[in-house]
Copies of this chain bind each other. A is one copy, B any other.
Amino acid sequence: MHPKVNAEIIAIGDEILFGQITNTNAQYISAQLDKIGVHTIQQTAISDSAEAIQEGLTNALQRADIVLITGGLGPTKDDLTKYTLAQYFNSKLEINEEALAHITHLMVSRGREMNELNRLQALQPTKAKYIKNEVGTAPAMWFNAPDGKVVIAMPGVPFEMKHILEHQILPQIKTMFNTESVIHYYIKTIGIAESALAIKIEDWENSLPQHIKLAYLPSFGQVKMRLTTTNSDQELAKQELKNRAEEILPIISKYVYHTGSDIDFEAIIAELLQQNNLTLAVAESCTGGALSALFTNMAGSSAYFKGGIVAYLRSIKENVLGVPSETITQYGIVSEETAAAMAIGAAKVLDADIAISTTGVAGPSAYDNKPVGTVCIGISFKGEVFTQTFQLMNMRETNIRLACVMALNKLRLILNEKGIGLK
């Protein structure tokens, strides 16, 4: 039996407590720890003050084996983490020559002058192990605490933290702690509410053994179910979760777009397109580029994504997409007829097998005599056209995201009906 290894993550920064930035680092670190079988038991955000750092660290070390700290390692006066940790561990600070050489090299290669604040970033607690920041000037540091516990401080800039965590911290944690794996199995659904889903599978949920935990995670039109267990035999555990999941698939199959891994919906659509050699284009009005961005955020999207037209104005719908002026006049900007013409136009102009269009009222104000949240979707599939109208929420950002999801789900259902699926 492997020991259970627990971690806590402490983010330091008034900008988090003032609500000026979201603590995305905590999410990223937890996800990475989860993969190597380390359980995050608490995430905490505290102030840039020596007292808060000391108290937070003391409390975390009482509960967790590993404490990961982010933030407060920058060059400016409000950055107190390094000095507070040195005091906490009763350590001197000295210029670390390796750090100094690296910082100097970075500054020179970026064509910048080395300044006194950069030099001070090489000042390191002598009791900490120096951890090189390949992509930035603030080094990370690793302290060994009593009882075999460890405290790791990393810079708060997300891409620097990610690079250090992946290349230096995680390998050392894996070596030092011998962990039991946490195994997750996902059933990813779309188009059904959490409570309706829970009722459909109630008997099954009640029949799950104690060591399997089920969670429902709703987000933007989707509910993902997560089955979790721990086991030193990962393959065995995964098979057990898979078998359990398969018991309910027949009941909810039309809502399920993926089982097993926690892959994003748009990645499934991308895979569906690639496997079937289908190309995609989009014509976006109310989603304004967000649908394109869903695809282009994924590496390799040029294999199936031909491009998009953000047709925000009526004139663009007419002149670039070729939507007939009469269609808009007769049915309105936000109508299934206009959506259909936009999709047909996009498929033609961008020369794609499939085109998706969106036109709607994202908010905050009603428009074209339609209430906020009205969204029309058009899909052109090799010349055949499908449309649907959705009544979504009353918040702009939510509507934009929901409209993207609804449009992709419509495409998924059309392809399903045609027998086009994943191999």
Interface residues, chain A, CB within 8 Å of chain B? 14-24, 26-34, 39-48, 52, 56, 59, 74-78, 112, 115-118, 135, 137, 157, 159, 162, 182, 184, 193-196, 198-199, 205, 213-219, 226, 228, 262, 282, 284, 287-293, 295-297, 299, 301-302, 305-313, 315-316, 319-320, 349-351, 363-365, 393, 395-398, 400
Alpha-carbon separation in the docked complex, A241 to B77 (Å):
18
Tell me the nearest residue of chain B to A55, going by C-beta: B63
B19→A27 contact, CB < 8 A: yes
B289→A291 contact, CB < 8 A: yes
B289→A290 contact, CB < 8 A: yes
Main secondary structure of the interface of A (DSSP, over half): mixed
New A-B contacts (6) at CB < 8 Å, excluding given A15-B226, A41-B46, A289-B308:
A19-B33, A20-B226, A157-B218, A287-B296, A288-B296, A289-B290
A30→B18 contact, CB < 8 A: yes
Between A43, A52, A396, A400, the greatest number of chain B beta carbons within 10 A of the residue's beta carbon is seen for: A43
B23, B46, B193, B284: the one contacting A23 at CB < 8 Å is B23
B19, B48, B395: the one contacting A159 at CB < 8 Å is B395
| Contact flag A195-B75 (CB < 8 Å), given A17-B41, A27-B22, A29-B19 | yes
A77→B43 contact, CB < 8 A: no
Chain B residues within 8 Å of A39, by CB = 17
B19→A23 contact, CB < 8 A: no
A216→B78 contact, CB < 8 A: yes
Chain B residues within 8 Å of A40, by CB = 17-19
B199→A116 contact, CB < 8 A: yes
A-B pairs with beta carbons under 8 Å apart, 26 shown: A14-B215, A17-B42, A18-B30, A18-B31, A18-B226, A19-B28, A19-B29, A20-B262, A21-B219, A23-B27, A26-B45, A43-B43, A74-B218, A75-B195, A76-B194, A78-B213, A112-B193, A115-B195, A284-B289, A289-B292, A289-B293, A290-B297, A296-B312, A296-B400, A307-B309, A307-B313
